[in-house]
Amino acid sequence: MNYTYQDYLKMYEQIAKRTDFKPLIGAVLGSGLGNVVNKVDIKAIIPYSEIEGMPCSTNKAHKGQFVFGYFKGVPMVLMQGRIHMYEGYTPQEVTLPIRLMKMMGIRSIILTNAAGALDPSYRPGDCMLIDDHISSFVPSPLIGNNIDEFGDRFPCMSPLYGQEQNNYLYNRARERGIPVQRGVYVQFSGPQYETKAEIHLAQIVGANAVGMSTVIEAIVAKQMGLYVMGFSLISNMAAGIAGSMPSDEEVLKQANASEKNVYELFALEVEMEAERLKKNG
C-alpha cells in the first residue's frame, strides 16, 4: 500500500488522542529485547491493532504494541514487536511505525534484531554493532510517490549509522565484558533461511551478519533526518558456517540466553544517545 501524508496524519492523531507523552528516542525491540519494557516506567501502551489503518505483527514472538515511558530516565517510545515483509506486508507498511514515531517527536532511533553470523569469527551470543548495511536484496521503502513532509526524494544514505557513537559504545561494552563485534548487516526478505549459495554471496559483497529486518527501517529513518543506531544479537551461525543449519527454535533459545548482555548493551546505547542529544541541545 502507498500511503499519503494524510493517512499517516490520521493514524498519528489516533495515537495523540490516547497519550500526550513526548518521546525523545524511539526503539525497535527485536528478539531478546522484548522484556526491556519491564524496566520502563510505563505511561501508556497502544497495541497496533487499536490504530485504524496500521498493520499488525503476526509473528508469535512479537507482541505488537507501542510502549511509552521512561527508560533510565529517558522519555522513549518502544516498539515491542516489529512488522516484517515476510508477513505479507510491503516495505511501506513495514516502515509505517518508524514514520509515526518521527511524528511523535523522536530525534533518534535504536534498531535491534537477531541475526545469523556470516563471519566465522563470530559466535552465537555476540552482539554486533551495525556500522553499515546492504539493502540490495530487498525493495526500497522509498519506491513510489515521495512524501515531501518526510524528506528528499533522493536522500543520501552515507554515513547512516553513528560511527563516533559506535566507537564509544564498543569500548564501553568491552570494558563491561559484553561480547561485542562491529560489522555490516544485510537484509533478506525471509521467511525462509538463506541457502549456502546465498550466504556465500552475502559474504562476497561484504556482509558480516544477515537477518530479515532493520535495513528498510533504517532507510526511512535516515530519510526523515533521524539519528540512527543499531545492533544485532548473533543468534546463530548462518547456513553452512561451522556446519550450522538455522532454525526458529535456535534463534529464540539464543535470544533468551543472551537477554542480560543484550539488555546491558541497549541500556548503554540509550544513556549514550541521551547524553549526546543533551550536549547538542
pLDDT > 90: what percent of the chain?
Answer: 82
Residue-level pLDDT at 145: 93
**CA 256 to CA 6: how far, in whole Å?**
40
Contacts of 134 (CB under 8 A, 6+ apart): 184, 185, 186, 187, 202, 205, 206, 207, 215
Residue-level pLDDT at 62: 57
At 44-87, the pLDDT tens digits run 999 999 999 999 877 666 589 999 999 999 999 999 999 999 99
**Count of beta carbons in the 10 Å neighbourhood of residue 188:** 22
Residue-level pLDDT at 20: 97
Please give the C-alpha separations between residue 9 and each of 14, 17, 50, 205, in angstroms, as whole numbers.
9, 12, 15, 39
Q: Which of 55-69, 103-117, 170-184 has the lowest mean pLDDT?
A: 55-69
Residue-level pLDDT at 244: 66
Q: What average pLDDT does this structure show over 110-129?
A: 96
Residue-level pLDDT at 58: 76
Among residues 140, 113, 165, the alpha carbon closest in space to that of 219 is found at 140
At 128-167, the pLDDT tens digits run 999 999 999 999 999 999 999 999 999 999 999 988 889 9
- CATH number of the structural domain 22-275: 3.40.50.1580
DSSP lists the bridge partners of residue 7 as: none
Q: Which residue has the higher pLDDT, 281 or 194?
A: 194
Residue-level pLDDT at 267: 95
At 86-107, the pLDDT tens digits run 999 999 999 999 999 999 999 9
**CA 169 to CA 150: how far, in whole Å?**
29
Q: What average pLDDT does this structure show over 8-19?
A: 98
Sorted by where each begins, the domain ranges of the chain are: 22-275
DSSP lists the bridge partners of residue 204 as: none
* Residue 145, C-alpha cell as written in the block: 510517490
